[in-house]
Amino acid sequence: MELNEQNYVHDGERVDQLYSQNIKIIQSPEVFSFSLDAVLLADFVRPDQKLKTRVVDLCAGNGAVGLFLNEKIRGQITEIELQPRLADMAKRSVALNQLVDRYQVLNMDIADTFSQVPKDSADIVVCNPPYFTDQPASKKNPNQYLAIARHELTTNLDTVIEIMSGLLKMNGHGYLVHRPDRLPEILSTLAAHRLAPKQIRFVYPKQGRNANMVLIEAIKDGRKGGTKILPPLIVSQDDDQYGPEVREMLYGKR
């Protein structure tokens, strides 16, 4: 059944599509639009086609990461987002994609997650958290929606990883995208919360440039050691066009 997109969109919003996953996302330049890091994180998650798989997406924003997992993960997906307007956009995107039978959107602080989602119940937890610490002197976006999404104003790295670990079953998989300059802090925080890093992949904007993102897979109560550093991911070519790997993530195989 063909849906009328306008029935799901409010003033100031638009519908964008991730063609590789055939997923539509309600976005707003006034509030929030997903970035490439959401696509990279969803692509980094290992496929799991078991119907009983339980996934939680922390700091979900407008629901992009969780929705981009639709074909890769066949189980139930819970998205948790603090900001009411973003959570509402996520709910409407779920409905627009006719996925209400598999998706749940909770408008709440991730610190309160266990009041709605039991501990040790998730097979997979993903998070695209705020990257920047809340330094009083740091310059923040005047748009409060974006400031909360990018800076640790309402949560922080330790809370994100503590909740991720608490949600995961033993040997469950946690996935993060973050900034490489915080990697030592990330690794020490993972270890403090029983999460063993198993795969790390650095993302580079172009060949010859420094990495500006890092993707991390960790396993709860996993054996120490054996961390793999995967081949680098180069986003753009010299002509500023997306490289073949990223292009496939966005548009699918051609």
The distance of Cα 129 from the centroid of its chain, to the nearest Å, equals: 7
More confident residue, 167 or 130: 167
Confidence bin at 100 (pLDDT 50/70/90): very high
Does position 1 have pLDDT exceeding 90, yes or no?
Answer: no
How many domains would you assign to the chain? Answer: 1
Confidence bin at 4 (pLDDT 50/70/90): confident
What's the pLDDT at 143? 58
In the chain the first and final C-alpha atoms are separated, in Å, by 26
d(CA 70, CA 126): 13
Does position 144 have pLDDT exceeding 90, yes or no?
Answer: no
d(CA 207, CA 211): 10
Return the SS3 of 191: helix
Does position 135 have pLDDT exceeding 80, yes or no?
Answer: no
Q: What is the pLDDT of residues 52-67, one digit of tens each?
A: 999 999 999 999 999 9
CATH number for position 26: 3.40.50.150
Task: Record the pTM.
Answer: 0.92
Does position 236 have pLDDT exceeding 70, yes or no?
Answer: yes
Strand segments, DSSP code E, in 59-194 are 76-81, 103-107, 122-127, 168-178
Average pLDDT of the chain to the nearest whole number: 91
d(CA 106, CA 79): 6
d(CA 224, CA 211): 25
d(CA 85, CA 145): 9
Q: Which domain holds residue 51?
A: 5-251
What's the pLDDT at 102? 97
> β-strands 213-220, 195-206: how paired?
antiparallel
How large is the angle between the packed helices 244-251 and 36-44, nearest 10 degrees?
90
Does position 114 have pLDDT exceeding 70, yes or no?
Answer: yes
- Contact indicator for 20, 71 with CB cutoff of 8 Å: no
What's the pLDDT at 155? 80
